[in-house]
C-alpha cells in the first residue's frame, strides 16, 4: 500500500510540473500578453522594452520558468494586474466559495446518484428504471446556464422559495473563520447565519449537480447490472444470504470502482461548470474571478494561479480516487 501511495505521489508531482510548464508557455504566447495588459494604452516601444527587461521576459524561457517555479514554491504568485493585490489574497477570498459550492453539488450528486442508479438496475425495465433513464438524459442535455436561469426565474421570482443570488442575505452577521459560510456559522454559533448561507447554497448546488448526478446514475446503473450477472452473486443468493448482505457486500462494493472513477472525473466538470453557475447566481467564487480576470483587463497572474489551483485540486481528487481503489477492492493492493 505504501508503494502505491509513493508511486501516485511521484506521478502527481510530474503531472503538476508538466501542467505548470504548459500554462506558463501558453499564457506568455497569447495575443497581447502580460506586457500589453500591464501597460494598456500607454504601450510605447520604449515602455514595452523597459517592462520586458524588468519582468525578465528577455531571458531564455527555461530561466524564466525556473524563476517562476521558485516563486510558486515559496507562495509568491505575483500581484493582480487589475487590483494590485497579491494573487494569493485574491484567490484566498474566492476559493472557499467555489469549494463550498462544489462540495454541496457533489454531495447531492453522489447522495442521489448512487441509490437511484442501484434502484434503476434492480428494477430494470420497470417504471422507475424508465423514469430514471429519461431524467438522466434530460439532466445531461440541458445546459447549466439555461437550467440556472430557469430555476432562478421559477423558484426565486415566481414562488419565492429561494433567494435569487449571493451567498448570504444583506445585513446578516457572519464572522468569517474559514470562508465557508455554512461552516463559519456553526463554528461561531451564529446558527441563523449558517441556515441563511445554506438556504442560499441549495439552488446553485442543485444547478451545478445536475450533470454529475445524471452521469453517476447511469454509470452506477450499468455497473450494478454487470455485477448482478456475476456467478458470486447467484451463489450468495443460492446460499440464502440476507438481501442486505448481498446488496452491500457483493453487489454495491464490487460495482463501486467505476462509480468512484466517475466521481473523480466529475470533479473537473464541477470546477468548469462553476464558472457558469456562479455567473447566474452572482456567487463570487473562482468562476466569477475567472470571468472578471478575462473581461476586466487580461489579469494573467490571477488566471495563471487559478488554472494551477484547479489542476492541483483535480489531480489531488483523482489521487484520492486511486488510493480508494485499494480499500474498495483488496485485489488492487495485491497487484
Residue burial 292-325, b: 16+ Cβ < 10 Å; e: rest:
ebeeeebbbbbbbbbbbbbbebbbebbbebbebb
Burial of 65 (0-12, 13-18, 19+ CB in 10 A): middle
Mean pLDDT value across the chain: 82
Partnered with residue 86 across adjacent β-strands are 79
Q: What is the pLDDT of residue 33?
A: 64
| pLDDT tens column, 25-49 | 887 776 666 666 666 666 677 777 7
Residues 128 and 213 in one domain: yes
Residues 28 and 145 in one domain: no
Residues 115 and 226 in one domain: yes
**Residue 126 lies inside a defined structural domain of this protein:** yes
**Residue 320 lies inside a defined structural domain of this protein:** yes
Residue 211 C-alpha from the chain's centroid: 13
Q: What is the pLDDT of residue 42?
A: 64
Tally of domains in the chain: 2
Q: How far apart are CA 170 and CA 174, in angstroms?
A: 10
**Residue 91 lies inside a defined structural domain of this protein:** no
End of a domain among 16, 50, 73?
73
Residue of 303, 300, 277 lying closest to 290 (CA atoms): 303
Residue of 253, 224, 233 lying closest to 331 (CA atoms): 253
**Residue 175 lies inside a defined structural domain of this protein:** no
Residues 258 and 313 in one domain: yes
**Residue 309 lies inside a defined structural domain of this protein:** yes
Mean per-residue pLDDT for 306-321? 83
Residues 109 and 19 in one domain: no
Domain extent at residue 245: 104-167+206-329
Residues 250 and 303 in one domain: yes
**Residue 96 lies inside a defined structural domain of this protein:** no
Percent of the chain with pLDDT over 70: 90
C-alpha cell at 225: 447490472
Contacts of 193 (CB under 8 A, 6+ apart): 168, 172, 173, 174, 181, 184, 185
Residues 138 and 241 in one domain: yes
User: What CATH number has the domain bearing residue 315?
Assistant: 1.10.3720.10
Between residues 89 and 35, which one has the greater pLDDT? 89
Helix runs in the chain, H state only: 2-28, 33-39, 45-55, 61-73, 87-122, 127-141, 144-152, 181-187, 191-228, 231-238, 243-245, 253-281, 286-295, 300-328, 330-334
Q: How far apart are CA 19 and CA 22, in angstroms?
A: 5
**Residue 194 lies inside a defined structural domain of this protein:** no
Between residues 333 and 10, which one has the greater pLDDT? 10
Mean per-residue pLDDT for 160-167? 84
Residues 62 and 138 in one domain: no
Residues 238 and 122 in one domain: yes
- Find where cell 441556515 sits: 195
**Residue 334 lies inside a defined structural domain of this protein:** no
Mean per-residue pLDDT for 191-201? 88
Residues 45 and 115 in one domain: no
Q: How far apart are CA 283 and CA 280, in angstroms?
A: 8
Residue of 204, 179, 169, 174 lying closest to 191 (CA atoms): 174
- The DSSP letter of residue 248 is I
Residues 210 and 299 in one domain: yes
Residues 49 and 120 in one domain: no
Amino acid at each position: 500500500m505504501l508503494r502505491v501511495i509513493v508511486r501516485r505521489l511521484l506521478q502527481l508531482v510530474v503531472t503538476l510540473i508538466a501542467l505548470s510548464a504548459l500554462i506558463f508557455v501558453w499564457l506568455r504566447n497569447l495575443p497581447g500578453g502580460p506586457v500589453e495588459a500591464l501597460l494598456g494604452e500607454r504601450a510605447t516601444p520604449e515602455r514595452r522594452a523597459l517592462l520586458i527587461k524588468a519582468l525578465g521576459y528577455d531571458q531564455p524561457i527555461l530561466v524564466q520558468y525556473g524563476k517562476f517555479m521558485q516563486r510558486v514554491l515559496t507562495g509568491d504568485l505575483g500581484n493582480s494586474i487589475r487590483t494590485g493585490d497579491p494573487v494569493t489574497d485574491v484567490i484566498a477570498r474566492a476559493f472557499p466559495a467555489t469549494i463550498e459550492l462544489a462540495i454541496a453539488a457533489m454531495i447531492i450528486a453522489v447522495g442521489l446518484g448512487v441509490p437511484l442508479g442501484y434502484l434503476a438496475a434492480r428494477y430494470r425495465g420497470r417504471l422507475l428504471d424508465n423514469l430514471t433513464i429519461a431524467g438522466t438524459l434530460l439532466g445531461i442535455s440541458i445546459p447549466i446556464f439555461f437550467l440556472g436561469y430557469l430555476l432562478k426565474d421559477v423558484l426565486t421570482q415566481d414562488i419565492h422559495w429561494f433567494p435569487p443570488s449571493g451567498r448570504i442575505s444583506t445585513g446578516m452577521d457572519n464572522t468569517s473563520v474559514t470562508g465557508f459560510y455554512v461552516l463559519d456559522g456553526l463554528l461561531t454559533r451564529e446558527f441563523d447565519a449558517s441556515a441563511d448561507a445554506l438556504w442560499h447554497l441549495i439552488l446553485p448546488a442543485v444547478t451545478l449537480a445536475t450533470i454529475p448526478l445524471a452521469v453517476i446514475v447511469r454509470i452506477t446503473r450499468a455497473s450494478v447490472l454487470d455485477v448482478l450477472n456475476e456467478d458470486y452473486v447467484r451463489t450468495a443468493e443460492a446460499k440464502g444470504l440476507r438481501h442486505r448482505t448481498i446488496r452491500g457486500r457483493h453487489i454495491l462494493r464490487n460495482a463501486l470502482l467505476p462509480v468512484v472513477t466517475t466521481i473523480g472525473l466529475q470533479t473537473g466538470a464541477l470546477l468548469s461548470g462553476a464558472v457558469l453557475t456562479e455567473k447566474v447566481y452572482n456567487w463570487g467564487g473562482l468562476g466569477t474571478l475567472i470571468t472578471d480576470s478575462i473581461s476586466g483587463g487580461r489579469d494573467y497572474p490571477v488566471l495563471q494561479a487559478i488554472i494551477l489551483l484547479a489542476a492541483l485540486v483535480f489531480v489531488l481528487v483523482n489521487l484520492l480516487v486511486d488510493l480508494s481503489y485499494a480499500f474498495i477492492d483488496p485485489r488492487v493492493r495485491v497487484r
